[in-house]
């Protein structure tokens, strides 16, 4: 089970992933992120993201999968590296499978 304060990390993880993808593919990173169900961009400049749905891990997995389908395996590695600093405080079971 994910502890409530840990839930706050998932929008940050999504934001870091999108920002790192943006460095490579430009504004298309934000456009593609908006196509992922349960991701709502609140403020792109500030990197504020809202993750709806019941399982933020699944939302992150869908985001990583979207980039992977469109831009290949390298985009998955970019996502993992972007999220790594925020994953250290999560229990192994709380880490989205796409980022393991």
Domain ranges in the chain are 4-85
The pLDDT tens digits of the residues spanning 53-66 come to: 789 999 999 999 99
Q: What is the pTM of this model?
A: 0.93
- Residue 84's nearest CA partner among 99, 74, 96, 94 is 99
Residue 53 zone, left/alpha/beta (φ > 0; ψ -120 to 50; rest):
left
From the list 68, 63, 66, 65, the residue with the least C-alpha distance to 52 is 63
pLDDT of residue 1 exceeding 70, the answer is: no
CA distances from 76 to 8, 21, 68 (A): 22, 10, 6
Residue found under tokens 């460095």: 23
- Note the pLDDT tens digit of each residue in 41-89: 999 999 999 998 789 999 999 999 999 999 999 999 999 999 999 999 8
């Amino acid at each position: 089970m994910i502890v409530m304060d840990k839930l706050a990390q998932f929008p940050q993880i999504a934001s870091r992933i999108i920002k790192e993808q943006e460095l490579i593919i430009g504004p298309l990173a934000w456009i593609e992120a908006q196509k992922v169900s349960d991701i709502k961009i609140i403020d792109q400049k500030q990197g504020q993201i809202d993750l709806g749905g019941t399982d933020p891990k699944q939302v992150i997995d869908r985001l990583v999968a979207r980039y992977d389908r469109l831009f290949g395996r390298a985009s998955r590695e970019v996502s993992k590296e972007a999220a790594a600093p925020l994953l250290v405080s999560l229990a192994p079971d709380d880490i989205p499978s796409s980022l393991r």
